[in-house]
Amino acid sequence: MAEEVPPSPVESVNFGELFATDLAPTPDAVVIYIPDRDRDNKPVTDHEKWVNDALELLTRINDGATAYPPGEGRWKKKDGSGIIHEKTQIVYSYVTSAKRFTEALPELRDFLFRLGRDTRQEAVSFEFQDIFFTIPSSAYIVRE
């Protein structure tokens, strides 16, 4: 039989009152991964532009966003032809208005699709509510 986990003493702390915050707490966050390499392992020449565009978009939607320094990333190519080594930058933002965020979902989707198409990605990744999503290139590349 599994032991019961005792309740955390932190659960009883009212952080908003203790730290005199004026914003309602939110567990909802959106995270966008901005790669610096394309699907052929070539540099994304306008990487900083994409980071800045993601910061601007999430700030408009959620009142603020943060870009973390690039981190080492790896992913296997779908066709098995190798592993792409890249420096991925993460743009992170907490949702401050569920209504505004929901209304902006088409704009967020369009941004992610453009990111994938214009930077020639095999897939684009993002997170929402600690759930990781991958958008395959078949969703944003128009085949002729």
The CATH number of the domain holding residue 51 is 3.30.70.120
> How many domains would you assign to the chain?
1
Residue percentage of the chain with pLDDT more than 90: 69
- pLDDT band for 18, please (50, 70, 90 cuts): confident
Residue 17 has pLDDT above 60, yes or no: yes
Handedness of CA 131, 52, 136, 114 (dihedral sign): positive
Q: Is residue 106 part of a domain?
A: yes
Contact 30, 58 (CB under 8 A): yes
Angstrom distance (rounded) from CA 127 to CA 33: 9
Q: Is residue 15 part of a domain?
A: no
Q: Is residue 68 part of a domain?
A: yes
Q: Quickly list DSSP for 95-142.
A: -S-HHHHHHTHHHHHHHHHHHHHHTT-SEEEEEETTEEEEEEHHHH--
pLDDT of residue 70: 92
Mean pLDDT of the chain: 89
Residue 19 has pLDDT above 90, yes or no: no
Angstrom distance (rounded) from CA 112 to CA 95: 17
Give me the domain span that covers residue 85: 23-140
Q: Is residue 124 part of a domain?
A: yes
Angstrom distance (rounded) from CA 26 to CA 23: 9
- Tens of pLDDT along 51-87? 999 999 999 999 999 999 999 988 888 888 889 899 9
pLDDT of residue 13: 78
Mean pLDDT of 12-30: 80
pLDDT of residue 144: 40
- Tens of pLDDT along 26-39? 779 999 999 999 99
Handedness of CA 9, 14, 18, 24 (dihedral sign): positive
Angstrom distance (rounded) from CA 46 to CA 107: 20
Mean pLDDT of 7-14: 72
Mean pLDDT of 96-108: 95
pTM of the model: 0.83
